[in-house]
A and B are shown apart, each in its own frame.
Chain A
C-alpha cells in the first residue's frame, strides 16, 4: 500500500489535550474542551511530562508545549509491544498529574493526528478516527486513550481527513478551492504535478498525505544541566566580587556548552540575596557574548538591586521585559545619584543594594545546536558592540521597550511614518505600525496574547500595507517634514476674527479664515499665514480605526509653523515645524 523505501519509522506521540498552545496546533475544539484545569501550564511544566517520557526512551522530540514524540521501535520491543508501551506511558504521565493521549503510527504527522483523535470518552465528539478505518483501532485505556494505526495503514488512516490538518495556510486555503478536500484526494495527485504547482511546501505536504516521511526525527539536545552557580558564604555585600565570580562562571558555562556543541539563545542570570529575595532576568546571548560581556550583564542586573520587599515570583511569561522596580539611583547613597562601577573605573567598594548576595546562578536558556552565527553582510544595520553594550545597559535600567530604533514606514500623517522597534529585536518582519498616541505599540515579535491585552485592539493596527515608505500615500503632507511630531495630538482652539471656532464643512469649505490659535491651553497667538484644508479620510472601511480629518498648516506670529487638523469638530495639533 505504502511506497517502499520511504516508509517512516514508527512514532509514538504523547499529547496532553488542552495545553495552552501558541502555534496553530490544529484541533481548536479539542483544545477548548480540554482547557480546564490544565490551562496555565507553560513550557517549563511540560518539561515534567517530557522527563517522564524520557524514562521510556531517552530520545524525545518536543513538538510544542503539550506534545512530544519518540520512536517506538526499540521501546516497544522492550516493553512488550506498542499497546503496552502506550498504556505504560499514559499511566506514568497520569501519575505525574497530567492527562494524556497517545497516537502511534508510521511517521510523526500521522502519529500526531492519531493522538488527537484517540477518544477515551464515548460520545464526546465524533472524530474521524472513530470511523472504521482499516488498521485503526481506538483502544480505551483510562485515564488517557490510545490510537494505533497499524504499520502500512497510515495512508488509509489519513485519506478521509480534511486537508485542513496540513500545517500550511496556503495549501489548506487553496486545495479546497481546487476541489481537493481530503488528504486522500490530495495524495492521489501525481507527485510531479504537485511539485510543479505547489513547490517545496507542496511536496512535503504531499509526502505527508501519502504517509511518507518528510524528515527524520530530530531529538532534542541532551537535557544535561549546563547551569553553573556559585554560593557566597558569607553573603557577598560588594558587587565587584560577585561580578568577578560571574566572569568565571560564564567561562565555565561556555566551556560546558562548547563541549556539548551547543549554544544558548538566552542566558538566565539569577541572583539570590541573603534575605531570600531574588532577581532573575533573561539576557539575549545568541552564542555571541563573551564571559566578560556576561559579567557586565550581571553587574547591570545587580545594580538594579533585588525586587521590592514583597517578593512576588517573577511572572512566568515574558521575563525579558520584567522591570526591576528598584531604581538604579539607589545603588549608591552618594548625592549625585550616579552609579559607580563604570567599566574602567574603580568601583570595587560598590555595595550591593539591600544586603549581600548569597547565590549567583547562570542558566543557559533555549539550547540550540551551535551552528555558528552569521552576522548581517551589510554592516549598516548591525550595531557595533560598543553601541549594543550602551543600549543594553540602558535597557537594563529602563526596560526592554525603552530603547528603540526608528524604522521609516508609510503613512499619511507624520506620526504614521515612523515605527519604533525595541533595540535588539531580531525579528526582521515589518512590525505593526506605531499609531499616534500609542508609544511603544510597535513591538514586534511578541506573542499574540500580549497584544490582545492592549486596550484598543492594536493587533488590528496593521492595515492598508503599513510599513511601505516608498508607496505613494496620496494625501501625505509633502516635504519638508516637521521636526516635532506629537505622540498624542495636542488639543487646540482655533478661532476666526470674531472669536468663533473655525469649522470645516463636509464638502471641505472653511467657515472663516483662522485668525488666532491657542495650543493646549496656552496663550492666544495671531495666525499670520495659513493653508488648507486638505481633507483625508483614512481606513473608512474599518470603523475602529477610521479617521476623517481636514489638515491645515498655520504660521503664528512667533514664527512657528504648525500642522493642525480638525476632526469631529475638534482641533488637534499633530506636529510643529521648528
Chain B
C-alpha cells in the first residue's frame, strides 16, 4: 500500500492547491496559479510562457494548443522544460475538446482560442478544469478568468538606430482578477532579460545590465 500511495503522489506538485510561478511573478500572482482556474493573458506573448514557466520547471506537463508560432527556444530560456511540453499547433474547430482532453493529463494548458469563445464553451471548460485541477492559460480574452495579466508598456534595450542588437525588454505588466487577486497591481519585469530569462526590473533604472554593444 505505501508503494501505491507513493505512485499516486508522484504527479503531485509542491504547493497543493496551486501551481508555483516564477519568483519574478510572485508580486503579480501572489497566490501562484490556483488549480482549476483560468489565467487570461491579453494576447500571445512571452508573458504567457513566463506564467507557465514556474510550474513547468517544477515538473508540470504543459500543452500548447493553437500556437503554431510558439518559440520553443524562448520558452526554454524562460524556464519551461521542453521535455514536458506537448504542442498541438492545429487543433481545428474542435479546440475545446482538445483542451478538455489535455487537461486530463497536463497540469497546464496554454491555448489561443481562434475567436471569442462562447459562454457555453467557457462553462464546459471551467467544469473540466475544476474536475481535473489543471490551469488554463489563455492567450486572449476570457470572461470569468481568475487572474488577468496584460502587458501595459514595453521598452527594448540594447538596440539603437543601425547599431547594437536586442538585448532585453523592460515590460510593465498589469494584473487584476477576482477574489483574493482582485486588487490590481503593476510591476516592471525583464521579459526577456539579457539571457532570455524572466526577472524583476527596477522601476527607476532604465539601463539593462550591459547595454553597450561590442559589435
Contact = CB atoms under 8 A, between A and B. Distances in A.
Interface of A: 327-329, 335-339, 342-344, 380-381, 383-384, 386-391, 393-394, 397-398, 402-408, 414, 417-418, 420, 423, 439, 478-487, 510, 513, 529-531, 553, 555, 559-561, 575, 577-578
Counting chain A CB atoms within 10 Å of each CB, which of B61, B88, B131 scores highest?
A: B88
A559 B153 contact: yes
Contact of A418 (B72, B91, B105, B163): B72
Given A418-B72, A530-B159, A478 B165 contact: yes
Contact of A483 (B63, B71, B168): B71
Contacts of A389: 104-105
B69 A386 contact: no
B124 A338 contact: yes
A560 B191 CA distance: 12
B161 to A, nearest CB: 6
A337 B92 contact: no
Interface in B17-64: 44-46, 49, 61, 63
Contacts of A439: 68, 89-90
Contacts of A418: 72-73
Nearest to B118: A336
B154 interface: yes
Contacts of B164: 529, 531
Given A390-B103, A407-B82, A559-B155, 5 more contacts: A329-B97, A386-B11, A390-B105, A420-B87, A561-B166
A339 B159 contact: no
Contacts, number: 194
B101 interface: yes
Contacts of A414: 71, 73
A55 B67 CA distance: 57
15 contacts: A384-B11, A397-B98, A404-B86, A407-B82, A408-B76, A417-B72, A478-B165, A479-B194, A480-B193, A481-B74, A481-B77, A484-B71, A529-B164, A531-B165, A575-B71
Given A387-B105, A480-B77, A531-B160, A337 B94 contact: yes
A397 B45 contact: no
Given A406-B87, A423-B86, A484-B44, A479 B104 contact: no
A382 to B, nearest CB: 10
A391 B101 CA distance: 8
Interface of B: 10-11, 44-46, 49, 61, 63, 68-77, 82-94, 96-98, 100-106, 120-121, 124, 131, 151, 153-156, 159-169, 192-196
A276 to B, nearest CB: 27
B55 to A, nearest CB: 14
B160 A529 contact: yes
A555 B93 CA distance: 34
A35 to B, nearest CB: 38
A236 to B, nearest CB: 24
Contacts of A339: 97
B174 to A, nearest CB: 14
B25 to A, nearest CB: 16
B67 to A, nearest CB: 9
B86 A387 contact: yes
A530 B161 contact: yes
A561 B85 contact: no
Contact of B159 (A335, A408, A478, A553): A553
A394 B98 contact: yes
B61 A393 contact: no
A577 B166 contact: yes
Given A483-B71, A577-B166, A327 B94 contact: yes
Contacts of A335: 120
Counting chain A CB atoms within 10 Å of each CB, which of B10, B155, B163, B169 scores highest?
A: B169
A406 B153 contact: no
Nearest to A407: B82
Contact of A555 (B84, B120, B156): B156
Contact of A390 (B84, B94, B106): B106
Contact of B73 (A384, A403, A408): A408
Contacts of A575: 71
A42 to B, nearest CB: 31
A398 B88 contact: yes
A561 B45 CA distance: 12
Nearest to B109: A390
A408 B156 CA distance: 26
Contacts of B74: 480-483
Q: Which 4 A-B pairs have the closest CB atoms?
A: A390-B105, A480-B192, A483-B46, A481-B73
Contact of A391 (B86, B168, B169): B86
Contacts of B96: 337-338
A553 B165 contact: yes
Contacts of A423: 86
Contact of A531 (B83, B162, B196): B162
Nearest to B80: A406
Nearest to A533: B162
Given A329-B94, A559-B155, A393 B101 contact: yes
Contact of A577 (B61, B68, B101, B169): B169
A325 to B, nearest CB: 13
Given A404-B86, A480-B77, A328 B159 contact: no
A155 B52 CA distance: 66
